[in-house]
Amino acid sequence: MGRKSPQEKKRLSYAKDRRNRYGVNDKSSRKNIPRHKRRVNRANRHREQQVLGGVVNVESAADAEESLLRVRPQRWQKWPDATLGATVGWKLTRTENLRSFEAETLSPLGDDELRETLAAAVHLLPLRDAAILHFLYYAGLRAGELSALDLRDVSVDAVVVRGPRRRVVPIPAELRPLLDAYLRERADDGPAFFLSTCGRRVPPATVNRLVAVFGVLIGRPGLSARTLRKTFAVNLLRSGVDLDDAAVLLGHVSADATRAYLDR
């Protein structure tokens, strides 16, 4: 019998693991707990230590333990008597099904639909929300990239998208008046370009929810930030932009990624 690969060892470990909650087995390896859950554990420990302070208080310690047990572990619970491998496989299958459904339903807007959508945004939405919707299309940004924009990233004729694949996307003349109006209305002097009502950076979830709710409002329930991004990509190619140049503007690794994105 040959030596097992790390992947085989991991699958075998998952198949034997019948814990109903992460962390129940005190001899389990820390690597079996996903990184984001380890961060939650570390953050909770830090928070409870801050509550306890330097002096040990039995009552405060009991309250902290009760709070910690009540808030987090329930989110990690899986069904009884199921192996961790079955749980992970079910979650991966569900994620793949969601991606397939999104790929099948994600279709770019036609010229008339796009024109009506952008015009309705100006008339029905507040100035900031209309600027967000227009920015998603005219710059082809992801919701996370738009959320991360700072004031220094947006100039008169271009926007700098920072991240693993830094790129510069030109801003068309149609978008400039709306951005100027938003900047005149924007009273806060924080570094973020798009701010929430409480003066903080608009999170990606808010951007996605804004587009989805607006789509339902105008009778296009399938509208999303990715729909606008795909429309931007399709219109780029229709205007004669090379596939490699389109991949750079979209922030894709290669032209093959852009081609696969458009074929979905």
pLDDT in tens, 176-205: 888 888 888 876 777 888 888 777 888 888
Distance between CA atoms of residues 55 and 174, nearest Å: 62
Distance between CA atoms of residues 205 and 228, nearest Å: 16
**Does residue 74 surpass a pLDDT of 50?**
no
First to last CA, the chain: 43
**Does residue 44 surpass a pLDDT of 80?**
no
Distance between CA atoms of residues 184 and 202, nearest Å: 18
Distance between CA atoms of residues 129 and 135, nearest Å: 10
**Does residue 10 surpass a pLDDT of 50?**
yes
**Does residue 30 surpass a pLDDT of 50?**
no
Mean pLDDT of 232-257: 86
Q: Which of 193, 237, 131 is nearest to 252 (CA)?
A: 237
Residue 168 bridge partners (DSSP): 160
Q: What is the residue whose two structure tokens read 């959320």?
A: 147
> What is the residue type of 87?
T
The third-level CATH classification (topology) of the domain covering 107-263 is hpI Integrase; Chain A (1.10.443)
**Does residue 59 surpass a pLDDT of 80?**
no
Pick left, alpha or beta for residue 251 (phi over 0 → left; psi -120 to 50 → alpha; otherwise beta).
Answer: left
Pick left, alpha or beta for residue 53 (phi over 0 → left; psi -120 to 50 → alpha; otherwise beta).
Answer: left
What CA–CA distances, in Å, run from 156 to 104, 121, 153, 173?
37, 22, 10, 9
Report the C-alpha dihedral over residues 197, 203, 204, 208, rounded to 10 degrees.
-30
Helical H segments across the chain, by residue range: 6-16, 35-52, 58-71, 84-105, 111-124, 127-139, 143-147, 176-185, 204-217, 225-238, 243-250, 255-263
Mean pLDDT of 56-74: 58
Q: Which of 21, 34, 213 is nearest to 120 (CA)?
A: 213
Which segments of the chain belong to CATH 1.10.443.10? 107-263
Comparison of pLDDT for 53 and 108, the residue scoring more: 108
> Mean pLDDT for the chain?
77
What CA–CA distances, in Å, run from 236 to 74, 125, 134, 177?
47, 26, 16, 22
